Structure 1
């Protein structure tokens, strides 16, 4: 269904939402330079680093530069999602495998009652946010439209060159978007149409995966936009 040129079907709404967010993001990223791309707003920020200089225990990537990743755990912000996964039929064993934690840790989360403490999430650089998104889109494409065999952690060659990173990022995003456009109504409702191995994709209809991808893209791009604002307003020598 279309109204004044706009689609109002569930698939069309998600596609239009993503396309608008992508257009806004590309404009917002215009002029990104290497120094700003790698800027660490506070000590201990997560970023991309040479493999020999990695400081986080699970930093990953196939090349010289790796993306920071910390020790496995289930953050407090995901407690409700874990409960929903179990209610939806996902096993404790599967959740533990996805998060790289023990089944005892999952059971501890499920047994929690009352308010949870806020997560002490690390501050991340623009390079980290873009690298994280790039890895997600590359992995979802591989495990939905590709051969479904390559490790998502080995798909993106991270780089300190902001222009090259953006070129590679948009190419991956556009390949994903072109493939998504071919999905049928039946495939939208197919549980496990995406077999992305980290997370709940294999246990969800693909329409839910697409909604999650939109959310991931929009909220990380909003964070990148704020980092750009902070970079522009930062104190500098002589200011």
Structure 2
């Protein structure tokens, strides 16, 4: 494996395994959510055009940002402008990009409107990520040792390899911030949903009471609570008719924990022992085996449990 391949593999693994799955299902409400007053976000100017809030020099304590701000920073400032500055963009008409040696992080490399919706933002992010990766694939290991040149601005003497590693770090850092903001948004919304709030508190009796009253249960709640090892809550959900819409499923998590009683309960209520998880392609029995629970693996395979 070449150095270029290893550098790209690091970014692609993070993107495909850690970041992109965390972005799936992003809603407009999340995209624009401001967790505290005074957030940096995208704001419309007097002409109605979205602008990315920032100062040339960060204040001593930079403001909290919205997911919209972070995604645009990753997509435009980290990936997109650099990709266009160094590799161009064949999807644009001739003359659409600057011809002078502007710095690689100059926003004029990205003249299009900023994304106004979550769907637009994810498409924008996917486009700029692909542009950057395709550009890096065009380099060989010798090129990674060469200096960036004028478009590197005050980094002109630094190597391409240094830039690639820097971009990897930037994407990982800001991607983690987006993921954390989604976690905080979900936690806030969870507390507003009575059955989810009760489940998170591991209050099985309250979950059962609410379900008896006909409160709707989110489709992922059963797998989420199994993943949290709230076994009494899992039992209450299953016995009151909750359907598992998760992948990995509640059965996967129970198998991984060696929770034979819960595995039996889930199977008795129709759980699919053959379902494979989306990330590893493994059935619950393989999860049980991997985590050292031979008895659970045997039970899932229909074998006698010793």
Structure 1 segments unaligned to the other structure (5+ residues): 1-6, 54-62, 76-118
Relative to structure 1, is the Cα distance of residues 177 and 163 closer, same or farther in structure 2, using a 3 angstrom cutoff? same
Which consecutive aligned stretches of 4+ in structure 1 deviate over 6 angstroms post-superposition? none
Over 3 Å counting, the alpha-carbon distance change for 1:238 and 1:143 in structure 2 is closer
Matched, 1:30 2:14: no
Give the direction of change, closer, same or farther, for the CA distance of 1:30–1:74 in structure 2 (3 Å limit): closer
Counterpart of 1:51 (choices 33, 40, 45) is 45
Structure-2-length-normalised TM-score: 0.53
Larger Rg over CA atoms: 2
User: Which structure's relative contact order is higher, taking Cα pairs within 8 Å and 6+ residues apart?
Assistant: 1
CA distance in 2, matches of 1:148, 1:225: 36
Write out per-residue CA displacement over residues 172-205 of structure 1, whole angstroms, 9 at most, x where no aligned residue: 21021011101022211111257244xx432210
2: CA distance, partners of 1:173 / 1:193: 22
**Aligned runs of 1:42-81 on 2, under 5 Å?**
42-52=36-46, 64-70=49-55, 72-73=56-57
The answer to whether the 8 Å contact 1:21/1:218 transfers is yes
Q: Which residue of 2 aligns with 1:144?
A: 86
Q: Which residue of 2 aligns with 1:94?
A: none
| 8 Å contact kept, 1:142–1:148 | no
Say if 2:62 is the partner of 1:121: yes
Task: Check if 1:177 corresponds to 2:133.
Answer: yes
User: Which residue number in structure 2 is paired with residue 91 of structure 1?
Assistant: none
Question: C-alpha displacement at 1:10, in angstroms?
Answer: 2.8
Aligned residue pairs, count: 177
Q: What is the aligned partner in structure 1 of residue 7 from structure 2? A: 14
**Unaligned ranges ≥5, structure 2:** 89-97, 195-306
Q: In the alignment, which of 143, 146, 150 is matched to residue 190 of structure 1? A: 146
Q: Match of 2:274?
A: none
Q: CA RMSD in A?
A: 2.3
